[in-house]
Amino acid sequence: MKEIKFSLVFRDMWQSAGKYVPRVDQLVAIAPTIIDMGCFARVETNGGGFEQVNLLFGENPNKAVREWTKPFHEAGIETHMLDRGLNGIRMSPVPSDVRKLFYKVKKAQGTDITRTFCGLNDVRNIAPSIAYAHEAGMISQCSLCITSSPIHTVEYYVNMAKELIELGADEICLKDMAGIGRPVSLGKIVEGIKKIKDIPIQYHSHSGPGFAMASILEVCKAGCDYIDVGMEPLSWGTGHPDVISVQAMLKDAGFKVPEINMTAYMKARTMIQSFMDDFLGYYIPKRNRLMNSLLIAPGLPGGMMGSLMTDLETNLEGLNRYKAKHGQPLMTQDELLIKLFDEVTYVWPKVGYPCLVTPFSQYVKNLALMNVIQMEKGGKRWSMIADDIWDMILGKSGRLPGPVDQELKDLAAAQGRQFVTEDPQLNYPDSLDVFRQKMAQNGWEAGQDDEELFEYAMHPAQYEAYRSGKAKADFLADLEKRKAAAQPKAAQPDSITVTVNGQSYKVAISYDGKPAPAAQQAAPASPAPAGGNDVLSPLEGKFMLSKSAGEKEIKVGDAVSKGDVICYIEAMKTYNAIVSEFSGKVLEICAKPGDNVFEDDVLIKIG
């Protein structure tokens, strides 16, 4: 009788449902109850977007990881994290010295297993992580990112697993991030891997498209050892199958499975619901609690759907502002979603079939959404492609599984862009010394085991916003806006005051994209220079003068030429370069780094 063990993917449960994860006090409070359930050999505690999310609502992620992993260690439960290989735990590639420090820090903080993946399934991006994990004393679990295409066959995945095992992988994970792996094929992949070596295999799936339970049964029959599960009220939907259902199914099939302490399960369920009622539920769209077979065609991952539906609300507001201004019928969210799904299906083969997993799922989705928005405004497809997306297309992030469409090759040539084939890591030089210097200039400590240095190097803009208090102020303002929107109309305030680190901020609140009266009546902080040409924002997002450490930022008085990149808009987790349409001098920078801007807002004046 084969034994099957369970892993609770607590981090991914939240990020598959919505935008945020619980605060550290909530994590520490629920840990003993998860342990009391008695059925988990492993718990996913961090990684992926977890630490970036902590920073976004003003919490120190290093403190969170240390306190959250500690009770599981004491109980003999292994902790594991998700890491993105070349991209570490962010959306863009990471220098090798930062990657190496990453594993040292996470092991010191209490993480036992690192689940490394590359969304392109380029083994070159995973290989260094195996060595870095072993050097830090961690178990290296390497992932096959599962999708369904003419390229991604059973043979393709078995051969990839063979390469990873030869490189020293301790375990293999079938990362079925969109839940679109076909059950029988998944079973054949597991069977093929076990013929190469009897190595521990863990299966991760999402419920959305509906294959998950059949897939779990097939992989277990083929020899899988660990199954990732969720629990109510965050199982199913875009999340994961519930541990109760999985246990009952596998028990009936004759497998040895752990028993579940149902008293503890119900207590944990109640606690999770209380976290949702506290604030997390305001960031969980109802649609994400549903299964949807429409997800089979676009193949978008469950972990991305949590933030997608929240972000889509903002994209819809911006698009409808344009339509209202031009006398066009407004679009519903359902209409925009279907257009997006159709465009993803169109775009995906043309950009070489990258596996739709972070960050490449976001890149493909963002490219598709930009195409939809531009075409809805009478523009052309491919008219706005972010630098990170170009890097993927050009091969700077790794080798694409399939060929790039000739139309995009021609567009790249017209813009003077070059395709590359070298090891992607070579494109990103070491940077820790730069961040050590910046921390010293700011009077910031590198932290225990250099963990603060790591956090700054991994998430520069978010870390600076966290340290300044801006991140928490922005989060609290957004939360109050969402709470107010859920109240009767008469109860909606025009502004609120939030306090961060003793500093009070008065924040104007708008609803449905309409300026609040407080904002309308506010006098400008300083008169704008007369004349000049306006550089307008082409989309809604956060204004940034640079996207990486060491990049020179423009300032008032600088000379710029037509075609120069002068700033960025961070939208949907990618940096969109804003190019000057004019030559001249910078007269005014009209927004501060980190400020939210809307489409057609003036960013910079050039004269």
Q: Which domains does the chain have, with CATH numbers?
A: 5-289 (3.20.20.70), 293-427 (no CATH), 469-522 (no CATH), 533-606 (2.40.50.100)
What is the per-residue pLDDT for 287?
77
> What is the pairing mode between strands 226-229 and 574-579?
unpaired
Give pLDDT, residue 550.
Answer: 64
Question: CB count, 10 Å around CB of 573?
Answer: 22
Residue 516 pLDDT: 46
State pLDDT tens for residues 15-49. 888 888 999 999 999 999 999 999 999 999 999 87
Is 509 within 8 Å of 569 (Cβ atoms)?
no
Q: Which residues of 203-232 are buried (b: 16+ CB within 10 A; e: fewer)?
A: bbbbbbbebbbbbbbbbbbbbbbbbbbbbb
Q: How confident is the model at residue 531 (pLDDT cuts 50, 70, 90)?
A: low
| Residues 6 or more apart whose Cβ sits within 8 Å of residue 269 | 231, 232, 233
Q: Give the Cα separation of 84 and 359 in Å (integer).
A: 8
- Specify the DSSP element, H or E, that contains 602: strand 602-606
Cα angle 340, 341, 342 (rounded to 5 degrees) comes to 90
Give the model's confidence band at 515: pLDDT under 50 very low, under 70 low, under 90 confident, else very high: very low
Q: Are 64 and 451 in contact (CB under 8 A)?
A: no
Looking at per-residue confidence, does 242 or 388 come out higher?
242
pTM of the model: 0.81
Quick one: which H or E segment has residue 559? Answer: strand 559-560
Please give the pLDDT value at position 518: 40
Confidence of residue 455 (pLDDT cuts 50, 70, 90): very high
Residue 334: band (very low, low, confident or very high) from pLDDT cuts 50, 70, 90:
confident
Percent of the chain beyond pLDDT 70? 90
Non-local CB neighbours of 468 within 8 Å, separated by 6+ positions: none
> What pLDDT, on a 0 to 100 scale, did the predictor assign at position 420?
93
Q: Check pLDDT > 50 for residue 186.
A: yes
- Cβ–Cβ under 8 Å, residues 65 and 107: no
The verdict on whether omega for the bond into residue 524 sits within 30 degrees of 0, i.e. cis, is no
Q: Spell out the alpha helix ranges (H) of 234-329.
A: 243-252, 262-278, 302-325
Distance of CA 444 to the CA centre of its chain: 27
Of the pLDDT bands very low, low, confident and very high (cuts 50, 70, 90), residue 240 is: very high
Q: Is the pLDDT of residue 377 over 70?
A: yes
Report the first-to-last Cα separation within the chain, whole angstroms: 77
Q: Model confidence over 552-567: pLDDT tens digits?
A: 889 999 999 988 889 9
Tell me the pLDDT of the chain averaged across its residues: 89
Q: How far apart are CA 573 and CA 92, in angstroms?
A: 9
